Structure 1
């Protein structure tokens, strides 16, 4: 006869409760006989019998079963069951102290590794945080204790340069797809888990759950609603973003991130896909939060008695925006280097696609030729173009002429401030219209198109960037490379100027 088994029975940790020693002996005999039938042996080194009288542990002889198995009487002040130290009840304070110590030790271990920033956060969430969340609803965590653990976590990140001391705390717990760092918030997880447990127990109508609801334990999932942990519901992602936008410094980046001209999903790729070190990731977030100690910040925010003039140009106020993309002294050198690195990535990809060269290399080791040409294509790099009439702007970053299709693409790169993203893209198109018309006339082209590639100094990508990449049939990963080059360039500039 064929049998169908719908359930698999197994035992790992088994705990028996009895009124007296005689009943406990009978229950153990039953378990022993069942174990023999299914060929399962007791792990005697982990077994013990605990006898309590008026809540106190008392010593009694070991229990001997019929098959000569002997179970020792518990001699230690506590035993561990399902990861919790307990005697007659769970040793709450001891377990909380042990759990906190293990959690913080794991966080410190993770941040000291050589993992990229994103992977460190993932490791904390998946390896350290479960130590705490496993105890929610079981141990008596107070709101103050949970907040203190979150604070201790941030201190460890700050000490290891993964988080700026006065950078946005809310952003640290925001999902990476929304521009945050993605760290699990222990306080919010506690609230969600405790409320979920309470709803589960109150809504279940089994005999067991009804019996539990009739017992007043003083602290259980039934009365967690009266605990301070559940006083405030966890904030949604939208609420956190709106709260950030309302802040004078921390909110500017998120306000610009939601602008119509910004490709938000591409702009946060440095948090979701690009492997940056934890230190670099934390630093660019601090730049975006505008908490770097520039002279302007020290004078007007920290109220120090110093001048706010830029140490490089000595003309304008030294804000983080000024250093990132507004200092005339840095324009010919540092800004140009950052700009050229992005342009090199695009030029290198085009030259490979068009068959103008066959050797792949890193963009920072690449030196573009002024003119590259074959039978079908001609590619210019930062070269003066002379149409039939004199035009004011005739030196685009890259010019590609497709001889076969009789079309050309005028490609220009820009790295402006966040608030100037759309303005810069529009200016680039208008700037080269005369050159486009002249080239179309001289080379008898069917079309001449101006394609601006605009990324802000903080890594905001203009929506036309992706569209232009697709139009030129470039590798989609090129956007990530350009974003990384822009961010690393900004970080390098700020560190160099402020000597950080």
Structure 2
């Protein structure tokens, strides 16, 4: 050095320049070992945490995948090495209850807006970064970069794809699968984009989220799946009622023996409880701090409003359907709302909405006549057992004027469904 100081020789282990280990060139093998070790450590620590399902995925994407992203396009990863890291991630997620072992892999990497889990795959990340780096170098006007032999830097260019192409590929593969794609094909025409609000918010526990996703993927170990797909020599009838094939649809919404207790008390009544809780808030009645600790009273009345909970309406003539879940009488405006939630299987949500409206037609006219109401309206609040809502769902919710959103109704429904699944299939 000019001042006479001596520079130390570079050790064989190399030195780090901008976080990348080098000597006379990049030490790819050592860097890959370090990255893999650190990536796995971070994923494991995140999965051990108490974060909810959505935050678990966000943390992996930002905290763990960023370790790999930094050297993408510089470190020479092989396709097999990247695939192995993704497999390791899925194994860890399964170990910690964040992913069902038989759930669809492509759906795991789909955006939550499209009904996926939103995980950023290591291979996908590297492909996208290589693609972006390639575009940047080719478009650069800097003299130094123009002199660079781009093909020698981007040796993995053949693996580079844009983020849009990667998402499109995952979506097409998922939707075209015979088993895992059944739910999407069966509900595509009846559900709205609001059906994925519970996924976008990501507030369910990772175990609950993975259970619901596995149910949608037809991946749960039902007797029907074991016999028809796995080829086991067993009786495929329902283990609870024994009267029908034990499919996911049957377990979550069609079993007669589960109807009166599990379907009603664990799921249906909790959906209705959210609405009743919000009605109490609107009209100034006493309520608990949280909806799940709320205990609806049969009759609540003030000078302005009267709310009936699961109360039979006495009419001059006998009606088959005279017991809506919630009846709201607004005294000043002389209007009445008949609110009736339902949680059928997702393929039947449109039919259930229509059925609810038709069932209470006679009661609606009787109430208008007897109580001298100016307007009586039936409000069907229908959410599928696995979270789907119809295209008219938003319209019905807005008529309640309670500030309720789709995910507020989906949450108690999905929590109830997950509880039913675990009980029937002995899932832990």
TM-score tier, shorter chain, comes to over 0.9
User: Does the CA contact (< 8 Å) of 2:12 and 2:23 recur in 1?
Assistant: no
The answer to whether 1:65 aligns with 2:2 is yes
> Which stretch has the larger CA shift, 230-239 or 404-413?
230-239
Deviations 1:121-145 (A, max 9, x none): 1111111111111111111111111
Q: Whose relative contact order is higher, 1 or 2, with alpha carbons under 8 Å and at least 6 apart?
A: 2
SS at 2:153's partner residue?
A: coil
Runs ≥4 in structure 1, deviation > 4 angstroms?
A: 231-234
Equivalent residue for 1:322, pick from 242, 250, 255 = 250
Q: Distance in 1 between matches of 2:241 and 2:196?
A: 32
The higher radius of gyration belongs to 1
Residues 233-257 of structure 1 deviation map (CA, whole Å, 9 limit, x = unaligned): 9735445334322223221332355
Offset at 1:387?
2.0
| Aligned mate of 2:144, from 208, 211, 218 | 208
**Are 2:52 and 2:202, in contact at CA under 8 Å, matched by a contact in 1?**
no
2:26 — aligned with what?
90
Q: Residues 187 and 347 of structure 2 are in contact (CA less than 8 Å); yes or no, is this contact kept in structure 1?
A: no
Q: Take 2:143 and 2:305, find their aligned partners in 1: how far apart are those partners?
A: 80
State whether structure 2 residue 384 is matched by structure 1 residue 461.
Answer: no
Deviates more, 1:407-416 or 1:363-372: 363-372
Answer with 147-156 or 421-430: which moved more.
147-156
Contact preservation (8 Å) 1:192, 1:234: no
- Give the equivalent residue in structure 2 for 1:341: 270
Aligned match of 1:253: 183
Residues 55 and 202, structure 2, Cα contact 8 Å, conserved in 1: no
2:41 matches 1:105 = yes
Are 2:105 and 1:169 equivalent residues in the alignment? yes
Task: Verify: 1:146 aligned to 2:76, yes or no.
Answer: no
- Alpha carbons 1:188, 1:234 under 8 Å: kept: no
> 3-state SS of the aligned residue for 1:390?
coil
| 2:301 match | 373
Give structure 1 stretches of 5+ with no counterpart: 1-63
Q: TM-score, normalised by structure 2?
A: 0.94
* Counterpart mapping for 1:231-310 below 5 A: 235-256=165-186, 258-259=188-189, 261-264=190-193, 266-310=194-238
Partner of 1:498: 425
Superposition deviation, residue 273 in structure 1: 1.7
Deviations 1:55-100 (A, max 9, x none): xxxxxxxxx432x654323344422222122211111112112111
Give the helix-richer structure, 1 or 2: 2
**What is the TM-score when the length of structure 1 is the normalising length?**
0.81
Alpha-carbon distance between aligned partners in 1 of 2:274 and 2:58, rounded to the nearest angstrom: 30
Measure, in 2, the Cα distance between the counterparts of 1:235 and 1:167: 23
Contact 1:341–1:364 (Cα < 8 Å) also in 2: yes
SS at 1:71 equivalent: coil
Structure 1: how far apart are the matches of 2:398 and 2:319? 29
Q: CA RMSD in A?
A: 2.0
Say if 2:287 is the partner of 1:351.
no
- Is contact 1:397–1:412 with CA below 8 Å preserved after alignment? yes
